[in-house]
Amino acid sequence: MLQNIRNNIQGTVAKVIIVLISVPFVLVGAESLLSTGSQDVAEINGEDISAQQLEEAVFLQKRQLIAQQGQNIDPAMLEDSRLRKQAMESLVSRTLLLQQAEKQGLAIADAELNRMIMQNPDFQENGRFSRQRYMSMLGAIGLTPAMYKRLYRTDLLQTQYVSGIADTGFLTEGEMALQSRFLHQTRDIRYITLGLEQEKRRQQAADEEVRAFYDENPGLFQSQESVVVDYIELKQQDFEPEIDEQEIVAAYNKEVEALDSGEQRQVSHILLTFEGDEEKNKARATLEELRTRVTNGDDFAALAREYSQDVGSSAQGGALGQLLEDAYPENFVAAARGLQEGEISGVVETPSGLHLIRLDQLLRTDVPTLEQRYDALASQLREAKAGPLFWAAVEELKDVAFNAVDLQQPADVVNAAIKQSAPVTRAGGSGLFSDRKLVTIAFSDTVLKDKYNSEVINVADDHVLVMHLNEYRPAALMPFAQVAARAKDLLLTRKATAALQARSARLLAELQQGADVEQLARANDLDWQLLLAASRNTGGTAGNIVRHAFSLPAVGSDEFAVDELSLASGDRVLMVVDNVREGNLDKVDPQEKTMLQQFVAQGQAAEAFQLLQKQIEAEADVRIF
């Protein structure tokens, strides 16, 4: 059943419904970040909703907004007071759906859940599941594997329920035939295009007309306001000192010593997760029993495949590969380092759960030569020494720039040059000032109106900048000589547009009186086109024309419809539409018929789900405290 549902989820119908109800699955560490207060804020069909669940829902809303709009989002949109009502509505909707799913007996097996996690591309490297990446991503957002699996299971149950509803929809042949009458309708379209550019070439504009147009429309010829700023920038690379060869040799010797003394270890483990002391005690007892079984001869890998709850390693007999100190908790590493080859640890507790650890193999790393490591070590030493110098200079720059009236004193203090930008408009500048963040600060009240030094801005992790207004250039009327060509082009366009409108109105009136399109086009030296039996999905360059033609009322067999369409290019299209023929389902090829069925089912399933959701909400006992 689950596989069938997963197949349905791939379909258009299920996807549309899922979008409609907005049941997002967001990887957030809300559970570990939010308070753990037990105060209830709502009751839904007898199920208590805690303040923590509401705060988690608010947090989910914030993460969704940030994901959609990026770091430039208006901070006001992230205020709890604005999101709380929407979060509560979302929480009620999700809870009701989950309750319905549980009433239907829907469930997600652990093995299937583990498989889906392992197939998640976010947790893969080179196309294979990476336990290190999995743990790293969860740790970064404050989730343990147990919390993550609980959230994922909840989301899948809701999706499973929605897909089940989509699967129950069906269409009668009559409904299909009715839809086909409209969707597969065809129309003959005859049209004439009046080109704006051709009309412009027929227009004339004397010099005095152009000058008068310029004088009468000063708003069209304003330069953009701009600023020129002075700035100081500091880069970490500018603080890198020369490195003595003896320092490189000493660093190499230290590195070799660490390699020699530190053995690389291949380890395996069995992990049991838990929530609460009771589960923890049961897990510990189980691991103690497993340790005894291995000591008595049972295969560790077989037990790991049967019992371990680590989705990344259980299928491989618990194998974790090389023990990396920065990838595992400190007590996990300490326990593994205390083992001899083939030995099994006692029960080790980490934030992920309880472990039994086995040392599978000891390995030694080949030691590179000084020549092989020379350049890399020199670079590392330079960066290590430059970092403190750079950040000390940054802090000094912050202190001095805040109180200075301009950039001269800060430049003297940090021994940096004062540079000058090219003009920057509100639309952006060049080079460094193509960065929207710098443009925004350049036009901020602090810099532009108050004429203070800006704050010290992080351009990158190793690059900062502070700016001061040098010159403000307000928007102004550009000299006629500078914009004469543009003024002439705008005047010709305006003349051509007016002429085209007049010509189009005259021709449209003739078509409405029954004039033949071809004869009218020839009489006026115009091109015309014919689209026979055009359908709604006719695309190409005539797509806009076809869409407009199908927006006109259908006409009888001896009638025609006439209309005019203005295109974005400024061209105008005159069209005559006739020979409207209804679609016939019997003439639709099987592939297109299937697509039609999916399209209609999509709409009906979405409507059915909306009605069911309204019914569930209407019958629910929801109390908000």
Strand order in the sheet with 572-581: 528-535, 186-194, 572-581, 561-566
Confidence bin at 23 (pLDDT 50/70/90): very low
Q: Highest-confidence range of 28-32, 255-259, 372-376, by mean pLDDT? A: 372-376
Alpha-carbon distance of 197 to 202, in angstroms, equals: 9
Mean pLDDT on 421-445: 93
> pTM for the complete prediction?
0.52
Give the model's confidence band at 587: pLDDT under 50 very low, under 70 low, under 90 confident, else very high. Answer: confident
Distance CA 415, CA 418 (A): 10
- pLDDT tens digit sequence for 64-77: 777 676 656 666 67
User: How many Å from the N-terminal Cα to the C-terminal Cα in the chain?
Assistant: 39
pLDDT in tens, 321-338: 878 776 788 899 999 988
Please tell me the least confidently modeled range out of 68-77, 409-418, 444-453: 68-77
**CB of 106 closer than 8 Å to CB of 159:** no
Report d(CA 406, CA 454) in Å as an integer.
10
Q: What is the pLDDT of residues 212-224, one digit of tens each?
A: 999 999 999 999 9
Q: Where are the beta strands (DSSP E) in 474-615?
A: 528-535, 561-566, 572-581
Q: What are phi and psi of 41, to 5 degrees?
A: -115, -15
Q: Is the model's pLDDT at 170 over the cut of 70?
A: no
**What is the Cα–Cα distance from 223 to 203, expressed in whole angstroms?**
28
Decide which of 570 and 53 is more confident: 570
Is beta strand 186-194 parallel, antiparallel or unpaired with respect to 528-535? antiparallel
Q: Strand 353-363 vs strand 186-194: parallel, antiparallel, or unpaired? A: unpaired
Mean pLDDT score across all residues of the chain: 84
Tell which wins on pLDDT, 243 or 600. Answer: 243
For residue 441, the model assigns a pLDDT of 94
| Rounded Cα–Cα distance for residues 203 and 556 (Å) | 42
Q: If you search the block for the tokens 């309750």, which residue do you land on? A: 99
| Distances in whole angstroms, Cα of residue 534 to Cα of each of 177, 187, 397, 515, 543 | 19, 5, 69, 22, 10
> In this predicted model, which residue has the larger pLDDT, 86 or 142?
86
432 CB neighbour count, 10 Å cutoff:
17
pLDDT value of residue 226:
96
Residue 378 confidence (pLDDT) above 60:
yes
* Pairing of β 561-566 and β 528-535: unpaired
Percent of the chain with pLDDT over 70: 88
- The H or E element containing residue 393 is helix 370-403
What is the pLDDT at residue 1? 28
DSSP code of residue 351: T
The per-residue pLDDT for range 384-395, each reduced to its tens digit, is: 899 899 999 999
Residue 259's pLDDT is 63
Residue 62 has pLDDT above 80, yes or no: no
The least confident of 34-43, 558-567, 599-608 is 34-43
pLDDT at 27: 36
Q: Which stretches does DSSP call E strand in 226-306? A: 226-235, 264-272
Q: Can you say whether the dihedral through the CA atoms of 345, 350, 352, 354 is positive or negative?
A: positive
Greatest CA separation found in the chain? 106
Burial of 246 (0-12, 13-18, 19+ CB in 10 A): exposed
Higher pLDDT, 603 or 477: 477
Q: Which residue has the higher pLDDT, 597 or 526?
A: 526
Average of per-residue pLDDT across 513-540: 91
Q: What is the per-residue pLDDT across 11-21, written as a single tens digit (0 to 9) for each?
A: 444 443 333 33
What local confidence, expressed as pLDDT, does residue 169 receive? 62
Predicted local confidence at residue 71, as pLDDT: 56
131-140 and 145-167 helices cross at what angle (nearest 10)?
90
Q: For residue 24, name the pLDDT band (cuts at 50, 70, 90).
A: very low
User: Tokens 């000032």 appear where?
Assistant: 433
Task: Summarize pLDDT for 495-512 with one digit per residue, the tens.
Answer: 999 999 999 999 999 999
Tens digits of residue pLDDT in 88-122: 888 888 888 888 888 888 888 777 787 788 778 88
Q: Can you tell me the distance from the alpha carbon of 303 to that of 280, in angstroms, rounded to the nearest whole number?
A: 19
What does the pLDDT read at residue 287?
95
How much is the pLDDT for 7? 38
Query: Which has the higher per-residue pLDDT, 396 or 54?
Result: 396
Report the distance separating Cα 425 and Cα 358, nearest Å: 64
Distance between CA 142 and CA 27 in Å, rounded? 10
pLDDT, average across residues 367-373: 85
CA distances from 520 to 187, 499, 516, 525, 564 (A): 21, 18, 6, 9, 15
Question: Is the Cβ–Cβ distance between 300 and 358 less than 8 Å?
Answer: yes
Please check whether residue 223 is in contact with residue 352, taking contact to mean a CB–CB distance below 8 angstroms. no
